[in-house]
Amino acid sequence: MRPDRFLAACRGEAVDATPVWLLRQAGRYLPQYRALRERHSLLEICRDPALAAEATLQPLRLFDLDAAIVFADLLLPLVPMGARLRFEPGEGPVIGNPVRTPDDARALRPVDVRRDLDYVLRTVERVAAALDLPVIGFAGAPFTLASYLIEGGPSRTHARTKTFLLRHPDAWDDLLARLAELAGAFLRAQVEAGARAVQLFDSWVGALSPDDYERRVLPHSRRAIALARAAGAPVLHFGTGTAGLLERMQAAGADVLGLDWRVRLDEAWERLGAGARVQGNLDPVALLGPRDEAVRRTRAILEQAGGRAGHVFNLGHGILPDTPIETVAAVVEAVHADRAAAPAGVVAGAQVRGVRGGGGG
């Protein structure tokens, strides 16, 4: 059996080959998943542990990945708080009752993650039982969850969110403090259910200035990560558009910092320090171009990593729906074929770990 490359890299240890998993590796680019969606809505899949486990395992049957990320949605914890969440075709998530005033924020209900999100925890248990590979749990970071609550859905400018921060600083801090406790508790519960690592997604935090991040978001991200780390599993921290925030995000205390494609991996690593551990960072659009070019860009990132311990290969954001599965397979193969990360005397194991017989569906 090969070593746990992914967990070893998260700890900054030498590995036989760079580990690789992909953001949104389960989803719409897979024919198997599209067939599942023909019969079930996204929320139906998320709320049924058998269906969610099946979606989680689908890419593991196709690609030699080093970890599985549980199939769920970032916004699920907002539903027991009182958010009326739905998904609109072509629009994405919509919250029918957005938070626009301090009173709206105060009206959000407390969440018991083991009761209110038990279906996600049962999915984690199911996937962990079906795999010899590490399972990654995840949660939305306080800023990103607050942004969805306040905007009512995705936003290009996050103007409502930043205006709320400016006009209602006390209510803002109270809201993010509550979301930090929720995210941290949810991550910890997923570790206790069988996840061997967890990732805090701050998808929209790149909308902030460095000062606003440091003063109004960093303390809450740090709190969520501290709660998660207390469970004993590595914590990864990822955001997009964060090239100007990397050092501040590092100060939040995660074990691994995710990079998007807007910063060179070697330059980011130099800024973060030799002992840092990083994840990333191929542009997802590279998978839509010629396969040879995607492989060339993958190898270029591995060259930037330079064989240093502590690199997890990933995309700089999620796989896009039109991505050819053949290109995904070629990129994963290229990552594992590169042996620059292997210390002397380490040889890849003869048996590839993955889905046990029967799966989790």
Among this protein's residues, is 86 annotated catalytic? no
- Considering the candidates 11, 28, 100, 262, report the single residue annotated as catalytic: 28
The DSSP secondary structure of 261-322, one letter per residue, reads TTS-HHHHHHHH-TT--EE--B-GGGGGS-HHHHHHHHHHHHHHHTT-SSEEB-BSSPPPTT
Q: Is the peptide bond before 281 cis (omega within 30 degrees of 0)?
A: yes
- Considering the candidates 73, 202, 283, 338, report the single residue annotated as catalytic: 73
The SS3 assignment for 199 reads strand
Q: How many angstroms separate the CA atoms of 294 and 40, rounded?
A: 33
Q: Which residue has the tokens 């206790």?
A: 192
- Considering the candidates 2, 5, 24, 126, report the single residue annotated as catalytic: 24
Q: Of 280, 219, 283, 282, whose CA–CA distance to 249 is shortest?
A: 219
**One-letter-per-residue 3-state SS of 212-269:** HHHHHCHHHHHHHHHHHHCCCCCEEEEECCCCCCHHHHHCCCCCEEECCCCCCHHHHH
Strand partners, 169: none
Q: Which residue has the tokens 């809201």?
A: 175
Among this protein's residues, is 73 annotated catalytic? yes
Q: Please count the other Cβ atoms lying within 10 Å of the Cβ belonging to residue 344.
A: 5
Among this protein's residues, is 61 annotated catalytic? no
Q: ∠ CA 278-283-288 to the nearest 5 degrees?
A: 145
Which element (helix H / strand E) includes 328? helix 325-337
Among this protein's residues, is 24 annotated catalytic? yes
Which element (helix H / strand E) includes 110? none
- Considering the candidates 2, 33, 47, 148, report the single residue annotated as catalytic: 148
Q: Of 263, 296, 300, whose CA–CA distance to 278 is shortest?
A: 263
Radius of gyration of the chain measured on its C-alpha atoms = 19
DSSP β-ladder status, 68-69 and 85-88: unpaired
Q: How many angstroms separate the CA atoms of 20 and 82, rounded?
A: 37
| Residues that are catalytic | 24, 28, 37, 73, 148
